[in-house]
Amino acid sequence: MEHILGQEWEITPAGGSTGEAFYARFEDQKLFLKRNSSPFLAVLSAEGIVPKLVWTKRLENGDVITAQQWLSGRVLEPSEMDQDLVARMLKNIHTSEPMLGMLSRIENSVFLPETIFQKVLNKLDEEVLSLSEVQNTLSFLRQEAANVHCEEKVVCHGDVNHNNWLLAEDNQLYLIDWDGAMIADPAIDLGLLLYWYIPEDNWQAWLSKYGKKLTNHLRLRMKWYVAIQTLSSIQWYKSKNSSTEMNKWVKFLQEIL
């Protein structure tokens, strides 16, 4: 990275699973650098969803480096996910025509329930598949697969974990880490957020801020996609040999079914 910015810049890894992100600082200038970000980043920046994109540079080896504003701020606490600002921002994302148009040109496909189900099923190993909770979940998913189709297809973030919501010092809210973006049923984002952070008695109130009613069909779709995501989490923590986290998500399966 030094040969792009110059030796005077102090560059440090930004962490994360890919090792492709860095912080850069020179005097009062601060940037967040990432290698091979999606072209989708440009429209996310233009829509004010992520910190401003400052520049993009293509290297001789074909890699693309993007530089964004490095903002001082903090991630949201789990207890803050019920705020109006979160609901309104997610609604803006789900109704953004520029974002949908750009991602449609990049992805060229829509994630349907059966596609997502098969993708997750293919990753489950024998030990995970042998768990009774997983077997019960797979039965539920197969039984309801035909009932969760929805005509509405939007840009979904795919991981609305509170750690991905950045509140800057000027109180501007951003949703970062868009590597898992997809065109799909908005129930994917809504279900994860509600199941993880909002007491069920408050779901309708939260959805009213978002601008949607809690119908039986939406409730089923959210449950279906949360169950799928939970299976994926169980397998991921199993692969990391993190039995404590894996068992936490197995217990969560019992609670939602």
**Predicted confidence (pLDDT) per residue in 39-91, tens digit:** 899 999 999 999 999 999 888 888 889 999 988 899 999 999 999 999 999 99
Q: Which fold has domain 75-256?
A: Aminoglycoside 3'-phosphotransferase; Chain: A, domain 2 (3.90.1200)
Name the nearest CA neighbour of 47 among 99, 84, 103, 104: 99
Q: Give pLDDT tens digits for 126-184.
A: 999 999 999 999 999 999 999 999 999 999 999 999 999 999 999 999 999 898 999 99
Q: Which fold has domain 2-70?
A: Phosphorylase Kinase; domain 1 (3.30.200)
17 pLDDT exceeds 60?
no
**Would you place residue 108 in the very low, low, confident or very high pLDDT band (cuts 50, 70, 90)?**
confident
* Strand duo 64-69 + 29-35: pairing: antiparallel
Q: What average pLDDT does range 88-96 have in this prediction? A: 97
Which pLDDT score, from 0 to 100, does residue 202 have? 98
Q: Long-range CB contacts (< 8 A, 24+ apart) of 29-33?
A: 30/69, 30/70, 31/5, 31/67, 31/68, 31/69, 31/70, 32/67, 32/68, 32/69, 32/70, 33/1, 33/65, 33/66, 33/67, 33/68
Both tokens assigned to 23: 């912080």
CATH 3.30.200.20 range(s) for the chain read 2-70
Which pLDDT score, from 0 to 100, does residue 100 have? 96
CATH 3.90.1200.10 range(s) for the chain read 75-256
159 a catalytic residue: yes
- Tell me which of 28, 63, 82, 159 is the catalytic residue: 159
Choice among 1-5, 25-29, 99-103, 212-216 with the minimum mean pLDDT: 1-5
Q: Give pLDDT tens digits for 225-250.
A: 999 999 999 999 999 999 999 999 99
pTM score, whole prediction: 0.91
Which pLDDT score, from 0 to 100, does residue 36 have? 81
Which pLDDT score, from 0 to 100, does residue 14 have? 80
Name the nearest CA neighbour of 232 among 113, 112, 109, 122: 122
